[in-house]
Amino acid sequence: MLASAAANPSAYVLAPLTNRRSHARRPLPESAAYLSSHRILIARLGDLSVSGAFLHTQFPDPVGTHATLELEVDGARACLEVEVVRVSFDGGVDGARCGMGVSFLAVPVAFRRALLQRASTTNSRG
């Protein structure tokens, strides 16, 4: 189990290892701080769900990389432990689709509520 989740397991929801796309992803044009053993990156989010996110970058980390992602959603901030699960080099003309998909390994309960609220608000708008 992850160190932060092990310290206070009731404050986290651990992500299931199966069905990585069990939650709908919604566009969220915000930035996030990404830290791995390879680099520190301030990336633009492409989309976000309760279980993961897509980060735009020309130089994604390899699949399987573990990292920390700090982001804010509707005033709630979290520092999440993530794993790179998908890499995209399909940049199109301007490289806008290059990046990496990350899966959240453990999500603080309070931040999960903010993510769920964001998803339901986005769903009700269309």
Length of the chain (residues):
126
Give the pLDDT confidence score for residue 23 in this predicted structure.
55
- pLDDT per residue as tens digits for the range 2-35: 555 555 555 554 454 444 445 555 556 678 999 9
Q: Where are the domains of the chain?
A: 3-125
Q: Considering the domain 3-125 in this protein, what is its CATH number?
A: 2.40.10.220
Interstrand relation of 99-108 and 76-88 (parallel, antiparallel or unpaired): antiparallel
Average pLDDT over residues 91-114: 84
- pLDDT per residue as tens digits for the range 39-83: 999 998 888 888 999 999 988 999 999 999 999 888 889 999 999
Whether the pTM exceeds 0.85: the reply is no
Give the pLDDT confidence score for residue 119 in this predicted structure.
74
